Each structure stands twice: as structure tokens, then as C-alpha cells.
Amino acid sequence: ASIRFRDGVFEVVESTLGRAPDFDALATDLRDALTAGTEAISVPLADVSPSVTDQDAAEETDDLNRRLAGGVKVSVGSETGVLPPEIVGSATAVNHVDGRWEVTVRWEDLADTVAALFPDVGTEGGEAYFEVTEASDEVPPAVRIVSGDPSTTCCDSTSARRLEQALESDVEVARLFLQSVESERGRAWATDLGITELVGTFTTRYTPGQDRVKNIRRFGELVQGVVIEPGETFSLNGHVGQRTREKGFFPAGTIINGHLVDSVGGGISQFATTIFNASFFAGLEFETYQSHSIYFSRYPYGREATISWPNPDLKIHNPSPYGVLLWPTSTASSITVDIYSTEWAPGEQTGQWQTAIQQACTRVTTERTRTWVEDGHTETDTVFATYRPEGIACDGTETQNPNEEQLEKIENGEDPEFETGTTTTTSTTTTVAPSSTTSTTAVAPTTTSTSSTSSTSTSTSTSTSTSTSTSSSTSSVPDSTSSSSSSTPETTVPESSTSSSSSTTP
């Protein structure tokens, strides 16, 4: 006999006589066949009584139905509920094994029902995030993982066995326990990123008290704690969004169409330059960047970046197998960007040269050499900047000074509609020296404060970025480029744009 669950109760499936080979009779038949030379015989069968009688099954069925009557009472913590008989029974199998009845509950068939009984139990976990402890005279700053505790929910893997025990014996209440569920970005995720040490740092200074300083410091606050996962790219504009008064930004100096004017968020390009340099020395890559069109002595010559809304943007790519933590901090007189990770391929500036463009512009190319920690091999790549005098295009013509209406359009993210022949700079328009370039001058490498790097030259690859000017009446400065390593020089020409607004923050 066996037991099944049907129509809300357990019931007996009555036994029948079985048939099996009669081995005693078979042995006799085989001897006779050998003596007689018989080639084939039939195997004799005999009736076999069932191993489990109907009476045994009926007794177990009575016990199961008695315990199931009215449902199974379960508790989680201080809360109690009842699982309906039909739900429990339909998820239960009863088998006779080694002389005893075994009850098996399929927890996967009950988990959702049990969880619905206890919607308020458990705790919500949190995503992990990073903090950098402050340094002291004796203790350097350290990265620590904060929060990231798993959530708890009903119910853990022992639940099935506890329900089985309630059906097998007279347990009044089946006590279930919560299970821990690790957040997708929990402590384990944070630990696996390998963010353990300072790999790049850079500091720039400013005059305290200015509105541009408030903007720089506010931008740093919004970026602090950002993690760039392996293979991912971080966009400054994508993360912070449009700079507005509501977000805590103020009007300050901005380069618009080659002229210095005030607009909301002015000055934040100093933050862009600071994080650009920290990333340069940390060995990160630049998917999109643009230099200032006017050089400011507070920045490293030719090794800097600007941003505005919605363009140009600064996009930093993490090519390493480790996570990257961005940790800007500021004082009344300086902004510092520290980058934490596991050292992978630190970079250093190993060369710089400049090229004249038409009558008024200068293109500065800066070479970086990265040294891979794992095997010591080196690769080189380049970044560039193009500078011009304020209000002057590369061909020597004057650019239009934006009026109030155009400034308002730029603040609202609209096209300022500069006069034909004036220059616009966006992250999708990159122009460099035409064929009339006149001279090239080498510039001695510069040094700045960075994380420690080493240089062991075993193999070198180069990468350069160029593009072409679009017309004799319009001259634009470099906007966006890619910095990559390859075995041969690579030329990248970003798609041009002719109707975008022009603004960058100095």
C-alpha cells in the first residue's frame, strides 16, 4: 500500500499482490532442463505479498490527517500563522523507506505562501559604501567598507524539515527562521572590488571665498564616494547633472565662445582638471575629454580638462580588474582628488611637445607612460590640449561675445545661436592643426604630486588622437578624444557637430 494526497486529505492507495520469479522452482527447472537437453525454459513466477499492508498505510494516514486538520501552525519570531491543509498536503510526499514512513515537504512549493503569511518580518539590508578615514601624524588614511549588511526574510532552508517534523509528530507549532539575503551591492561585492590603497592623487589651489570655489567644493561633495567598477566608465555630467542654483551652485566665470563670462556652475572645470590629473597618474583612461580653450596658469600646461552642461563632458574609464573609489576633499584654499584601488598600471608624464595651429592657436600633446605592476611592461599614450587667446579663433578672427539672451539660453540648455563664422566648442567637435601647421616645439616633461610610480621599459605602444578643421571661417578647439594603448598609432576623429552651444568653466 502507499499514501497520496487528494481532495484535501491523505488517503491509502490499496495494495495488490505482486508477481516475482520463484527462484526455488527455477533451480529445479534448470536442473531438469540440463538433464533433458532442453534449450529454453520459462521462468516460474510466484505471488508476492506487499511490503506495506493496507493496515499500516491506514494507520499512518490517520495520523497525518489528524495533524493536518485545521492547517499547520507556524511561527516566525513573535508572529504566528496557519498554513492551509490543502497547501501543505499538495507539497508533501509520503514514502515507506527501510521499514518506516518518511514525510518529504517540497519547500519550493510552499516558500511564497509562507512568506505571504509574514509580510512584516525580516529586516531590510543596505548597499555597501566606502569611507576614507582621516589621516593623522602617525596613521595614514585608510579605506573601510560601511554597511552592506544582508537583509533578512522568511524563511531559511531548515523550514522544510521543520514542517516535516510537524507532520511526523505532535509538534504544536513549527518554528521557522529567517534567512539572510546578500545585497547585490553588499559587503561581499565591496570586498571583491579590491579597493585597498591610494593609487592616484592630485591637488589644485584657488583663492578662498569666491563663488567659483563654492561650485568646486560642491561638485566634489557630489562625486565623493563614487565607485567605478572594472570595465565601467564614469561621466561627470551624467553623475552630477545640470548645475543649478537648487543644487547649490552659483554664477561664476565660464568660457563661452572664447570669452570669460559668468554663468551658474562656473569654476567647476578646476575640479575636472584635478580629477583628470589624478586619473592620469592612477593609470585610468579618458573616453571623452576636452581641454580649456584658454590656458590658466593654475593648471598643468597641456594636461587638463574642462566640462560644461550638457557638453563638454569628462568620462573616465576603468580598464583594471579592480574597483576605483573617487574621494575628493577640499579646504578653503584647495581641492584634492584621491583615487583608491589596487595599483595596476600607474602612469607618469614622460614627454610633451607643442604645435602651432594657423595664426593664433597652439596644440600641446602630453605623453604618458604606464607601467604594469604584474609584469613590469610599459605602454605609452597621449592626451592633448589646444589653446587660443581670449576672444580669438585659431585663424585670428574675433569671436562673438555672448549677450544676455544667449547666456540665458545656455543656462537653459538651449542653442545660443552665435553668428556665422564664430567658433563653438562642444564634446562632439574636435579640430586640430590643418595642413598649414607651421612649427613643432618640444616641451620638457613636468612633474607634479602623484602616487608613487615606477618605470621599467620592456615594451611600448602609442596612441594619438587627431581630427580635421571643418571650414576656413570656423575654427574649434579640441573637444573630445580617446586615450588608448595599441601596438601602432591610432587616429580617432569624433563626429563633428555644427549647432551645439559653447561653454566651459575655467
pLDDT score of 491: 29
pLDDT in tens, 165-206: 999 998 899 999 999 988 889 999 999 999 999 999 999 999
pLDDT of residue 402 exceeding 60, the answer is yes
Q: What is the mean pLDDT of residues 255-267?
A: 76
Q: Is the peptide bond between 155 and the residue preceding it cis, with omega within 30 degrees of 0? A: yes
pLDDT score of 249: 94
Q: Are residues 319 and 229 in contact, defined by beta-carbon separation less than 8 angstroms?
A: no
- Report the Cα–Cα distance between both ends of the chain, in Å, rounded: 88
pLDDT more than 70, % of the chain = 80
**Binning pLDDT at 50, 70 and 90, where does residue 19 land?**
confident
pLDDT score of 504: 59
pLDDT score of 302: 96
- Amino acid, res. 462: T
pLDDT in tens, 63-96: 999 999 999 999 999 999 999 999 999 999 999 9
Residue 90 grid coordinates: 499538495
pLDDT score of 139: 81
pLDDT in tens, 278-330: 999 999 999 999 999 889 888 999 999 999 998 999 999 999 999 999 999 99
**Binning pLDDT at 50, 70 and 90, where does residue 506 land?**
low
Greater pLDDT, 441 or 452: 441
SS3 assignment, position 197 = strand
Predicted TM-score of the model (pTM)? 0.68
Q: H/E element holding 324?
A: strand 324-330
pLDDT more than 90, % of the chain = 58
Q: What does residue 129 show for φ and ψ, rounded to 5 degrees?
A: -145, 170
